[in-house]
Homo-oligomer: A and B are copies of this chain.
Amino acid sequence: MANKEIPYKIYLSEDELPRQWYNLRADMKNKPAPLLNPATFQPMTFEDLRPVFCDELVRQELDDTTPCFDIPEEIRNFYKMYRPSPLVRAYCLEKKLGTPAKIYYKFEGNNTSGSHKLNSAVAQAYYAKQQGLKGVTTETGAGQWGTALSMACAYFGLDCKVYMVKVSYEQKPFRREVMRTYGASVTPSPSTETAVGRRILEQFPGTSGSLGCAISEAVEAATTHEGYRYVLGSVLSQVMLHQSVIGLESKTAMDKYGVKPDIIIGCAGGGSNLGGLIAPFMREKLRGEADYQFIAVEPASCPSLTRGKFAYDYCDTGMVTPLAKMYTLGSGFIPSANHAGGLRYHGMSSILSQLHADGLLEARSVEQTKVFEAAEMFARVEGILPAPESSHAIRVAIDEALKCKETGEEKTILFGLTGTGYFDLYAYEKFNNGNMTDYIPTDEDIQKGLAGLPVLPE
């Protein structure tokens, strides 16, 4: 099919919305290493995880062989309020760059959470409701996950307790108010509400918090309140399972027009959006049916894949969570200031970590001034103001398209535009005023973080 027939935006019909999520682990020869119990260092069992997560989500978390999970009808109905999301042909960006490359992006920002996070939030809230729980607890950094979860909880009538990284709570009062509008309670973290919060405040008075620390508090709150469970917006395999809806829709839309991407790019914080985007394409690569180049993009200020170590580590700062084998900078690594709050996490999903270790997924790190240059160009020609997180993917998509301009190659590039930047205008203001700076951790900073990795018994 000729390219000129491809519309600006490909919208699938609601009938074409996936009926099943795809579990990438089922096709992986080298499975991601299991989560370990932090007390015994033995693989976590169903019973170990039940006090923390909903039963069905524990099943999904532990299952690395079932390739497909049905999407329950109520979740599909919720999805229909904002999905299928558009796959956009970036005609204007291509023209601006003067590249022979063909650029597509899957846009997940057209919902009130402003990002892809809602795809998993609705699933997790649904299973909590099914189990008859009163509510859920979680952490949020930039606030996208917290917003998504509060939307999902409002829909299903669940209580929602959000621990919000203190610096975001103060710098992003608007996100906080969106969550409150959806009925969530929002607490700045670290707080005095939890034992772990009090301990962290004592150790680091005046800390502005971190995702890892907020996770510790939310987990404690879930396990000490009757009828509550903890939910997490990234990193976990269950989240990647739900996010596969992004890739499944993308692939269906591309297949319809006979388009095959050469390069697939996504930003990576905990890894769920990228994992979801690449899932059905990676399946073909794993099965030897097709080949694709996959690129994970992370901030130079928090470079877990490019400078971290592939090892077992805690998922949180308070070291109360299970251990995951992943590329990590150490759970004590304090990521430097960066406006992409959603990418300031010390680790990376076990699935993506394993794929990277096996040479199936490349990784690049980029500096934030370069990221905002890409964001500004993209906003002006494509009309969408991108989130700083998503702009990491834009940066590398532009870089790859410019390489094509040099070589004359007509590559097809697909990237994930995970969200909008409406709540990141302080960052844009800084960029507009020429006051944005970059920060790259020194080798010493990295070594210091890695020195805190737990030592496992032989």
Contacts and interface: CB of A to CB of B under 8 A. Distances in A.
Contact of A14 (B7, B78, B154, B174): B7
A110 B422 CA distance: 12
Contacts of A151: 380, 383
Contacts of A81: 8-9, 92, 382-383
A181 interface: yes
A178 interface: yes
Contacts of A110: 110
Q: Which of A114, A155, A177 has the most CB of B within 10 A?
A: A177
Given A81-B92, A155-B381, A383-B111, A425 B376 contact: no
Contacts of A376: 181
Interface in A1-26: 7-9, 11, 13-14
Interface string A159-199: 00000000000000110011011110000000000000000
Interface residues of A, number: 43
A254 to B, nearest CB: 17
A429 B380 contact: no
Counted per complex, copies of this chain come to: 2
A210 interface: no
B92 A422 contact: no
A73 B359 CA distance: 46
Nearest to A432: B180
Contact of A11 (B11, B114, B173): B11
A151 B155 CA distance: 34
A202 to B, nearest CB: 31
A387 B98 CA distance: 38
Given A14-B9, A177-B432, A420 B80 contact: no
A80 B385 contact: no
A182 B428 contact: no
Contacts of A182: 379-380
A380 B151 CA distance: 7
A114 to B, nearest CB: 8
B420 A383 contact: no
A81 B89 CA distance: 9
B432 A181 contact: yes
A75 interface: no
A45 interface: no
Contacts of A11: 11
A423 interface: yes
A21 to B, nearest CB: 20
Contacts of A112: 379, 383-385, 420
A127 interface: no
A82 interface: yes
Nearest to A12: B11
Contacts of A180: 428-429, 432
Nearest to A375: B181
A380 B9 CA distance: 28
A118 B111 CA distance: 19
Contact of A428 (B177, B183, B420): B177
Contacts of A432: 177, 180-181
Nearest to A383: B81
A114 B384 CA distance: 10
Interface string A138-168: 0000000000000100110000000000000
A278 to B, nearest CB: 26
A385 B181 CA distance: 9
Interface string A392-415: 000000000000000000000000
Interface string A349-383: 00000000000000000000000000010011111
Given A8-B80, A8-B81, A82-B383, 6 more contacts: A8-B14, A111-B384, A177-B425, A177-B428, A180-B432, A422-B423
13 contacts: A8-B14, A8-B81, A81-B382, A111-B384, A112-B383, A154-B379, A173-B429, A174-B425, A177-B428, A177-B429, A178-B425, A181-B428, A422-B422
Instruction: For the complex of A and B, list the 3 residue pairs with the smallest distance between their C-beta atoms, beginning with the closest.
Output: A174-B425, A8-B80, A154-B380
